[in-house]
Amino acid sequence: MMDNSKDIKALWHSSRLLITDKFEYPPVVIRIDESVVGTLGNFSATVGKAKSRKTFSVTAMTAAALVCRLMLNYNAEMPDDKRKIIYFDTEQSPYHSQKVLSRIIELSGMNKEIQPENLEFVCLRRFNPSTRIQIIEEAIKSTSSLGLVIIDGIRDLVFDINSPNESTEIISKLMIWTEVYQLHIHTVLHVNKTDDNARGHLGTELLNKAESILQVVRDEKDPNISIVKPMSIRDVEFEPFAFRIDNDGLPESVDDYHIKTGQVKGFDYHEISEQIHREALSLAFKDQKSLSYGELISKLIESYAHFGYEFGTVSLPKNWTFYNPKIINKKRLILGYENEQIYRQPNFGNFKGV
């Protein structure tokens, strides 16, 4: 901590913000679809349970940044003066770390016999947490044109994952490194075995301060498939996507995979909140002024499935009478019905009494 009052005063003055100051949106380096995942000057994270294939997902992100093109659903665009990447592995042996390095190079389409000029891989398993932090800090300070740092995993930078002091200290390090050196840091952390919460006080601090948190989970019905979904993100949320490991040990997209957002449920419509009904209807009528009855049912099945409620083409109109055209036309509640076309009422009317 600084003792010199003049130094503190200078820091205070340099930290003041004026309404007349001009700032540009930080360069976006990682996207998923149209969603901003990572910008220079910020940090993000991937979380997931053990064996959920978090590292496979992160290697695809790293490969995308290395060659600035789409990998899985990661689309990276590194500025010309920020093309260097450092990948820190804190928990694996050199043998297994080299497998991760090989995977990144192979995904990028580069020659596996030649170390990429813009990629540095550092194994930190043999050091204690404080030494690991010192090595990372020195590497960041000493590497020119550095744009992306991967820390897999951040838990190994603290002695006690539940220590408020250690957690605050390491998250503060991430904020300082990213802002001072104008780079992006993406780190990896396990979640609890019993729930999806990031582990310990460190996980809480990470969730509070990160630009985005991506969660990797194994599909409940097909353990060979992993799903990447947004847990916390400042930008618009992206649609979850799925991947599996191919015969060469590389992650590949499962483009035709229908991601389940919940278990199949045979609910009566009264058991679902009005807010979910409204959101499902909004999704069904997106960019549409009116729909035929068949089109409405098809779109409703898709939109309710988006919120975790799945119904067949028979059960939905049979059990949910407020989607029956005759009742719609009679009550004029949620939707309107005219000339065999169903259209939305303003705000979808009133659900009460349906």
- Of the pLDDT bands very low, low, confident and very high (cuts 50, 70, 90), residue 298 is confident
- pLDDT above 60 (res 341): yes
pLDDT recorded at residue 288: 75
Whole-structure pTM value: 0.71
In this predicted model, which residue has the larger pLDDT, 65 or 344?
65
pLDDT recorded at residue 285: 77
pLDDT digits (tens, 9 = 90+) for 61-102: 999 999 999 999 999 999 999 999 999 999 999 999 999 999
pLDDT digits (tens, 9 = 90+) for 263-293: 434 445 556 666 777 777 778 777 777 777 6
pLDDT recorded at residue 221: 83
Q: What are the φ and ψ backbone dihedral angles of 255, each rounded to 5 degrees?
A: -70, -35
Q: How far apart are CA 339 and CA 37, in angstroms?
A: 46
- Please state, in angstroms and as integers, the Cα–Cα distance from residue 43 to each residue in 57, 180, 181, 287, following that order: 17, 13, 12, 35
Q: How far apart are CA 267 and CA 308, in angstroms?
A: 11
